[in-house]
Chains A and B, each alone.
Chain A
Amino acid sequence: MAFAALVRRHGPYLRAFATRLTGSAADADDAVQDALITAWDALSSLEDFSKVRAWLTSIVSRKATDRIRGRKPSSELDEQRMDDIRRGPEQRAIASSQLDALADVLAALPEGQRQCWVLKEVGGYSYEEIGDELDLSPAVVRGRLARARATVISEMEVWK
């Protein structure tokens, strides 16, 4: 079936994106599953098949942010959650590439800043769209991105 082929092909990317966004492999898995059920239903509305990954990613974003908004604040859970995108201390000491370094920097950002960053830079959303997704005003999104940007740029300066 064509849809199964689509899932096999794009599933790993969607899961990687959702893991970066939510900070949790379990949340990412649930979000991807929710998204694919929705996608199956709406597949006939997709006009341009060359944009299928971007389209799927936008549905995953929505499902992942639904989960983020539905979370109960719990620092213990947050800690556990972050383990999925944080490398161990011994690995962190030897960031062997720019990508490793960036992974560490992003994982160390406050959660709200990281979510905005991933939606903006990887998802390609506008401040307004991110605000809608996360239930924040565009001004709050703007502020979070400004702080995230300052941190990421200065931390990545050594890798230039």
Chain B
Amino acid sequence: MTMETPPPGDSTDGIGGTGYTLEDLSDYLDRGRLPSIPAIDDNAECSSVLSSLQRVGALSRDLVAKEAELQPPVDETWLSALFTSISQEAKAGRDIPLTSPDPRTRLSITEGAVRELVRAAGDSVDGVLVGRCQLDGDLATVGDSIRVTVSISVLLGSPVHEAAETVRQRVYSELLTHTELTIEAVDVTVADVHVTLPGGEAL
């Protein structure tokens, strides 16, 4: 091994003859120049390359910052379209995975669809109207148990306890049939009573 200093820029011997490449210097910079390597720090050519690297990195960030300033302000029409998409997504809710017979296919049902299922099951009970419906738990993990909370309104005069119990059972069996969720509990709260109009239609 010779100790002779190679000519500057000789690629085989690295930058400034240190044996370090441009890539090495960039990695060194990424590490915050720690632990310090005197062979690099004390080499004029390396120092110059390091400062160039730092400069073009900072300039790149400045460039995007300047281009951000030149962007038009966020368009209000665009913003309201964004909020429409968001509320549609929110209604659909979280994705609940289903096991697929084909490993190449990913199946899922949306939280919104499950809520509709719960709602329909509850509404199918005579004299019951479903209000709020909530799914609590980690829906994205197959096998994790979840808790279903349903609030209902019961027709005035009908047996409240029985109505709530029937809703609980129907919701439970519907979810068992149509989803792969593990149901820890179905909580039914009677939040209201309602009367029927003379025409027989529920109010």
Contacts and interface: CB of A to CB of B under 8 A. Distances in A.
A20 B62 CA distance: 12
Interface of B: 22-23, 26, 49, 52-53, 55-57, 59-74, 79, 82-83, 85-86, 89-90
A120 to B, nearest CB: 8
A146 B26 CA distance: 9
The interface residues of chain A, by DSSP majority, are classed as helix
Nearest to A85: B67
Given A16-B68, A156-B52, A8 B79 contact: yes
B22 A103 contact: no
Nearest to B94: A41
Interface string A6-36: 0110011101110110000000000001001
Interface of A: 4, 7-8, 11-13, 15-17, 19-20, 33, 36-37, 40-41, 98-99, 102-103, 106, 117-118, 121-122, 142, 145-146, 149-150, 152-153, 156-157, 160
B67 A19 contact: yes
Contact of A12 (B55, B56, B73, B86): B73
Contacts of B72: 12
A37 B85 contact: yes
A102 B59 contact: yes
Contacts of B70: 16
B26 A149 contact: yes
A122 B64 contact: yes
A118 B83 contact: no
A17 B64 contact: yes
B74 A11 contact: yes
Contacts of B66: 99
Contact of A156 (B26, B56, B90): B56
B138 to A, nearest CB: 13
B71 A15 contact: yes
7 contacts: A7-B79, A13-B64, A37-B86, A102-B60, A106-B60, A152-B56, A153-B56
A12 B74 contact: yes
Contacts of A13: 64-65, 68, 71
Contacts of A160: 52, 55
B64 A20 contact: yes
B71 A121 contact: no
Nearest to B71: A12
